[in-house]
Chains A and B, each alone.
Chain A
Amino acid sequence: MIEKQRNIIDFTLSSLLRRKGKNSALVIVYTLVVALLASVIFFTHALRTEASLVLQDAPAMIVQKLVAGRFDLIPLAYEEKINNIRGVNAVRGRLWGYYFDPGIGANYTVIVPEAEQPADGTIVVGEGIARNRKISIGDLIPLREQNGETGIFKVTRILSASSSLVSSDLLLMSERDFRLFFNIPRTHATDLVLAVGNPREIGTIAQKIVTALPDTRPVTREEIGRTYDSVFSWRSGILIVILFSAVVSFLIFAWDKASGLSAEEKNEIGILKALGWETSDVLLMKFWEGLAISLSSFLAGLLLAYLHVFVFSSSFFQPVLKGWSVLYPDFTLVPFINASQIATLFFFTVVPYTVATIIPAWRAAIIDPDAVMRA
């Protein structure tokens, strides 16, 4: 049985090599299709994993105040009520917001960090801001304050590029500066962050918060994670649906190639049948042919996608998948590949290709044994 397969595989490979021209076109297109889809999947998965890793350091719960369904500043007085809830270890107000820089048309995320606040009058900027505004350490930057005046801030540090996926557009300043800058009273904060003792109690704690403070909305880290996940998945799903038209064209091409047997190929199969090869033997040959083509294209496509996404930072897709950000970070993603992605790609490419070529393969295999005699 195995010997038979070996012999047939031998013949199949030699057949493929004999018709390099026709087969290389197919393999190239196949590889590109796999590479395209694989790039999307690798990219989103890596981003998603990266985001969820980053999220692990996020606070377990955030409490925001809503006014008429819109986000508003939260009174620090609420801290006491929340602190009284059993299970809450700590509450603190968090200050952050957005600053629009008309100079380059970008939004910065301004944050007052919990630890190591910059000194008054100084700021720390992310790598993306530094790059776009050509800032170096020691530079004095003018920023337009809430009240219309312009404040001058000295840049004391630039955040490292390795963290740029999350910090690219960050601007850190001191609490005093922040409150003056955005005109936020000492009694309020942007939102409250909580540390809880037992993660299982988050649900209960959240319920109690909403009961005690009905104008607030608690958001848990898990919820944020789920939302990120859905958005990434949705985006990659949409891209794949769109790219599917590429796959369909490829399938039509593959079917055409498989059906369009040259007279020489038909003759060859006729000879094999006449010599005593059975239909299932020829089908086996076609199966190995399909496998050889699929396997080499699939692997080549995966390799190409890997290089594209993890070595060359997938310049292709970034705008769609990352959003409208102007401050685009330079970074290289950490490869996160698992069996599920490979299986998914398999179903998107190899399975449809196989289905598209079953019938042409069968049509070739049923050539009558006496066809060469009749010709």
Chain B
Amino acid sequence: MIELKNVRKVFNSGKPNEFVALQGASLTIAEQKLTILKGPSGSGKTTLLSILGCMARPTNGRIIFRDREITSLPERFLAEIRRSTFGFIFQQFNLIKGITALENVMLPAYPGGEKRLMLEQRAMALLKAYNLGAKALSKIEWLSGGEAQRVAIARAMINNPTIIIADEPTAHLDSRLSREFMEAMLHLKNDGRTILIASHDPLVYDSDSVDRVIEMRDGAIIAPGAAS
């Protein structure tokens, strides 16, 4: 369970371009469910997502992650949590060009200091599970949109995370790929993982797999939603 208490995030505080991305959000996210953060751009859902995903520290407020207060944890501890518990899928996939799909999948696990051979095997198994075995050694630039999407998902899974976070994952996908994506997420949820998606795509938030939709606007939660 992830609990947010009055979390506020301000960027460039004190400067002329000061910007309040989140205004005192309080929230409890249940695990093993698929939760959507819905709202237009600028609503603060990306900021909220990044705070939930231990990628940013709130300016004010508290975060309690699985009964442990992590508000003031130094970066290295947050990174440790992030690496072992979370898997990220980004809007533009953000795969690193110039290296192979296999290497991309292995990247999040490098700081863990695992033996390379074992890591390669695990990454290969993941790619095969997503039907990308043949493309494992291809450079990212040569993959199609759908293939890149699956590589991104495989990469998110390399550290066997319990929580998956996706930021506008379908923004650059057609309907078929968007539906395939939601299916993959459902599959992961049934595996016992928690899924958090920020999206303003109806294909995502109207999907049957969704357990809860949180609506946001102008940095505040306007509809906390409930388990549906």
A104 to B213, CA, bound (A): 98
Interface-facing stretch out of B61-69, B113-121, B200-208, B219-227: B113-121
Interface-facing stretch out of B22-30, B102-110, B130-138, B188-196: B102-110
**Residue of B whose beta carbon sits closest to that of A275:** B108
Residues facing A in B73-102 (CB within 8 A) are 75-76, 79-80, 82-84, 86, 88, 90-91, 94, 96-99
CB of A242 closer than 8 Å to a CB of B? no
Given A4-B110, A276-B79, answer yes or no on A271-B167 (Cβ-Cβ < 8 Å).
no
**Residue of B whose beta carbon sits closest to that of A285:** B110
Residues facing B in A279-313 (CB within 8 A) are 279-281
* Closest CB in chain A relative to B84 CB, distance in Å: 8
Residues of B within 8 A of A120 (CB): none
Residues of B within 8 A of A374 (CB): 46-47, 50
CB of A316 closer than 8 Å to a CB of B? no
Given A370-B55, A373-B90, answer yes or no on A268-B116 (Cβ-Cβ < 8 Å).
no
The number of residues on chain B lying at the interface, defined by a beta carbon within 8 Å of a beta carbon of chain A, is 37
A14 to B103, CA, bound (A): 10
- B56-A7 in contact (CB<8A): no
A280 to B83, CA, bound (A): 14
Residues of B within 8 A of A281 (CB): 79, 110-111
A67 to B61, CA, bound (A): 93
CB of A225 closer than 8 Å to a CB of B? no
A26 to B46, CA, bound (A): 39
CB of B214 closer than 8 Å to a CB of A? no
Residues of A within 8 A of B115 (CB): 3
* Closest CB in chain A relative to B121 CB, distance in Å: 14
- A373-B50 in contact (CB<8A): yes
CB of B49 closer than 8 Å to a CB of A? yes
Q: Per a CB cutoff under 8 Å, which of B84, B97, B116 touches A7?
A: B116
Residues of A within 8 A of B119 (CB): 7
Residues of B within 8 A of A7 (CB): 106, 110, 113-114, 116, 119
A297 to B131, CA, bound (A): 44
**Residue of A whose beta carbon sits closest to that of B88:** A274
- A276-B46 in contact (CB<8A): no
- A275-B107 in contact (CB<8A): yes
- A372-B110 in contact (CB<8A): no
CB of B149 closer than 8 Å to a CB of A? no
A132 to B102, CA, bound (A): 69
* Closest CB in chain A relative to B7 CB, distance in Å: 14
* Closest CB in chain A relative to B198 CB, distance in Å: 9
A264 to B106, CA, bound (A): 20
- B110-A11 in contact (CB<8A): yes
Residues of B within 8 A of A10 (CB): 116
A11 to B106, CA, bound (A): 10
CB of A46 closer than 8 Å to a CB of B? no
CB of B16 closer than 8 Å to a CB of A? no
**Residue of A whose beta carbon sits closest to that of B112:** A4
- A279-B75 in contact (CB<8A): yes
- B83-A276 in contact (CB<8A): yes
- A274-B79 in contact (CB<8A): no
A236 to B40, CA, bound (A): 69
* Closest CB in chain A relative to B139 CB, distance in Å: 10
A281 to B97, CA, bound (A): 20
Provide a sorted-by-A list of 29 A–B residue pairs whose CB atoms are within 8 angstroms: A1-B113, A3-B115, A4-B111, A4-B112, A7-B113, A7-B114, A7-B119, A8-B111, A11-B103, A14-B103, A264-B97, A271-B90, A271-B94, A274-B90, A275-B88, A275-B155, A276-B80, A276-B83, A276-B159, A277-B111, A278-B80, A278-B111, A279-B76, A370-B50, A373-B49, A373-B50, A373-B90, A374-B47, A374-B50
Closest 6 A/B residue pairs (Cβ): A276-B83, A4-B113, A370-B50, A278-B79, A275-B108, A7-B110
Q: A267-B94, A369-B56, A370-B56 are in contact. List 17 more A-B contacts (CB 8 A).
A: A3-B113, A4-B111, A4-B113, A8-B111, A11-B103, A11-B110, A18-B99, A264-B97, A272-B107, A274-B90, A275-B107, A276-B159, A277-B79, A278-B111, A370-B50, A370-B55, A373-B55
